[in-house]
């Protein structure tokens, strides 16, 4: 039973993060393409 609870909590966390990204992108007027570029830049920088 605890396995399903953990998976549900993880899924809820991912959904919350996606919603935050959506709200931020709408507030700053950022296009989806720009968000992808920003995400890729952050990932690239973090890997260094």
Predicted confidence band at 26 (pLDDT cuts at 50, 70, 90)?
Answer: confident
Predicted confidence band at 6 (pLDDT cuts at 50, 70, 90)?
Answer: low
| Helix, strand, coil content of the chain in percent (nearest 5) | 90, 0, 10
Per-residue confidence (pLDDT) for residue 41, from 0 to 100: 92
Domain segments of the chain as ranges:
2-47
pTM surpassing 0.85? no
Mean pLDDT of the chain: 81
* Contact between residue 21 and residue 35 where contact means Cβ atoms under 8 Å apart: yes
* Side-chain-side CA neighbours of residue 26 (13 Å): 6
d(CA 23, CA 9) in angstroms, rounded, equals: 21
């Amino acid at each position: 039973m605890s396995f399903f609870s953990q998976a549900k909590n993880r899924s809820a966390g991912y959904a919350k993060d996606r919603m935050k990204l959506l709200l931020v992108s709408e507030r700053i007027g950022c296009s989806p393409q720009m968000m992808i570029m920003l995400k890729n830049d952050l990932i690239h920088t973090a890997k260094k």
